[in-house]
Structure 1
Amino acid sequence: MPGDHYNADSFKAFFDAWLLRQRNFLDDLLSAESGSPHDGDLQDLISRVLSHYEDYYEKKSRIAQTDIFLVFSPPWFTTYERTLLWIGGFRPGLTFRLVNQSINDMSDEQVLRIRRLRDDVKIEERLLNNDLAKIQEKVAAPPLLEFFRRGGHDGVIGGEEAMENLKAAFQSVLASADFFRRDTALKVTEILTPAQAVRFWAAVAQLHLRIRALGLQEDAE
């Protein structure tokens, strides 16, 4: 709802509920994969799955406005999940590994389009890596270093302003990375047929839930 103020606890509650819906969508995708529904029904399912992810990104952008540093080391993720993060989420290049694993009946034209998209994604990933590296250099520069050394207290000349600039820079690079993630997944979905897209999104959900389960197991031990 507009005006919701997200903190770590409220986002964790949202994320837990979102993961439950993720499991339900996986069941629907696997069921569609094993059956023979019409393309229209498959398209409807894919649209609902995409809306499910849009919901996540919308809530994530709100908490990023509240506390950007939470999103870069999210307490709602397991320790293992946090080791896999790239600018607050998954690396878009992972998409193509999932395409290769889940789909073996692409036409020559589809293979070519996926290959071109993968090459574009590699370039964009490098550019965003460079943007992030520039931001991280600012963290080690005065007056921010002195600001952090004093525990974020006033009295450091330019410290508050530098901190606000740093937050804005992190928010900007996260927004670019999240747009890039969504755009890559949408472009892949457009290249695939509805039946192929169902297999792709099932593979995405399976990987996501498997990583989650492994992380919970490791943290419990």
Structure 2
Amino acid sequence: MADVSPRTDTSTDVDTEDKNLRFQIDNSPAIVGSDASDKSRDQKMLRRLAQNREAARKSRLRKKAYVQQLESSRIKLTQLEQELQRARQQGIFISSSGDQSQSMNGNGALAFDVEYARWLEEHNRRINELRGAVNSHAGDGELRIIVDGILAHYDDIFRIKGDAAKADVFHILSGMWKTPAERCFLWLGGFRSSELLKLLINQLEPLTEQQLVGITNLQQSSQQGEDALSQGMEALQQSLAETLAGSLGPSASSGNVANYMGLMAMAMGKLGTLEGFIRQADNLRQQTLQQMHRILTTRQSARALLAINDYFSRLRALSSLWLARPRE
């Protein structure tokens, strides 16, 4: 990048072009001639030389703009890398000093995104290890160790999300750390346990009658928990809307200003309950995974975890295909 200097291009090239143009004009035989055809040729040559000079000037400008664009992109990339590096060093999830939530500042969303990407990378490594063990017909003892490790790894992301929600609950609730297709099925910052269980029943056959009853009951209880949380969120939204509507109208008088401030304080207090909804939703997801593991055998649990991972992997692949689709 340092070898390509726009200043050198625009200075030496312009001087050389000017000298060549003057030399060609001054020494052209057409200029010496006096008949009509010579003058016509002179004019054509002058126009052609002027056109060539204009084309060369525009080419230099395009080259200069391209070099400047490359330099600007390089600077932005360097800044992004530095920001990510600072997030790794100062983010709450990388910190090992104990109270991680204290480190979650204005870069909380970025820090969480970085940590989630790191968690997902480790999760994929564990899944690949599990897949290899299943394909090689490893014993139940080896499978149990890998399965327990993956479930413990899920516990990590629930804890991480809980800490992140304390700093930026709307970032977790919006699911902007997920791919677009995953966000399409998002529920309170994550997946619906009941929907996953529906998908897994066909993947885990054959199930014993007792296991089928257990999975069905677990799916129903998960659905009931999700419905209760969804109703709570709807009630919160309705209450928040009514509170904000109560502050509408003129606020010139001191009484109205005081009323406005009081209503906004009430609205802030209600927003504070969002963190609790995300925590309860993640607790439901965590308990569903653990209960599923208790109902199934070790080998069935391994197949279930692989199926869950494949489902979300396909959602992420679908997002990539959607974003890369041809547009007219």
Q: Judging changes above 3 Å, is the alpha-carbon distance between structure 1 residues 167 and 212 closer, same or farther for their aligned structure 2 residues?
A: same
Alignment of 1:18-167 (within 5 A): 18-143=119-244, 156-167=260-271
How far apart, CA to CA, are the structure 1 residues paired with 2:267 and 2:143? 47
Deviation, structure 1 residue 189: 0.9
* TM-score for the superposition, normalised by structure 1: 0.88
Q: Judging changes above 3 Å, is the alpha-carbon distance between structure 1 residues 166 and 212 closer, same or farther for their aligned structure 2 residues?
A: farther
Is contact 2:229–2:281 with CA below 8 Å preserved after alignment? yes
Which residue matches 1:150?
A: none
Is contact 1:138–1:144 with CA below 8 Å preserved after alignment? no
| Corresponding residue pairs, total | 215
How far apart, CA to CA, are the structure 1 residues paired with 2:149 and 2:302? 11
Q: Judging changes above 3 Å, is the alpha-carbon distance between structure 1 residues 103 and 134 closer, same or farther for their aligned structure 2 residues?
A: same
How far apart, CA to CA, are the structure 2 residues paired with 1:23 and 1:145? 49
Is contact 2:244–2:264 with CA below 8 Å preserved after alignment? no
Aligned letter for 1:208? F
How far apart, CA to CA, are the structure 1 residues paired with 2:288 and 2:224? 13
Which residue matches 1:175?
A: 279
How far apart, CA to CA, are the structure 1 residues paired with 2:211 and 2:175? 36
How far apart, CA to CA, are the structure 2 residues paired with 1:86 and 1:160? 27
Residues 1:10 and 2:114 are matched in the alignment: no
SS of structure 2 residue aligned to 1:158: helix
Is contact 1:143–1:162 with CA below 8 Å preserved after alignment? no
Higher relative contact order (Cα pairs below 8 Å, separated by 6+ residues)? 1
Deviation, structure 1 residue 205: 0.9
How far apart, CA to CA, are the structure 1 residues paired with 2:135 and 2:245? 56
Q: 1:154-184: per-residue Cα shift (whole Å, max 9, x none)?
A: 9732244224322322111111111011101
Rg larger in structure: 2
Worse overlay, 41-50 or 206-215: 206-215
Residues 1:184 and 2:279 are matched in the alignment: no
SS of structure 1 residue aligned to 2:190: coil
Aligned letter for 2:287? D
Is contact 2:130–2:302 with CA below 8 Å preserved after alignment? yes
Q: 1:20-68: per-residue Cα shift (whole Å, max 9, x none)?
A: 1222122112112212222221111011101211111111101100011
Worse overlay, 41-50 or 165-174: 165-174
Provide the identity percentage.
Answer: 24
Q: Which runs of 5+ in 1 are unaligned?
A: 148-153
Aligned letter for 1:20? E
Alignment partner of 2:299 out of 183, 195, 202: 195
Worse overlay, 90-99 or 176-185: 90-99
Aligned letter for 2:323? D
Is contact 1:78–1:212 with CA below 8 Å preserved after alignment? yes
Is contact 1:103–1:199 with CA below 8 Å preserved after alignment? yes
SS of structure 2 residue aligned to 1:26: helix
Q: Judging changes above 3 Å, is the alpha-carbon distance between structure 1 residues 157 and 52 closer, same or farther for their aligned structure 2 residues?
A: same
Pairwise CA RMSD: 2.1
Is contact 1:8–1:70 with CA below 8 Å preserved after alignment? yes
How far apart, CA to CA, are the structure 2 residues paired with 1:162 and 1:63? 23
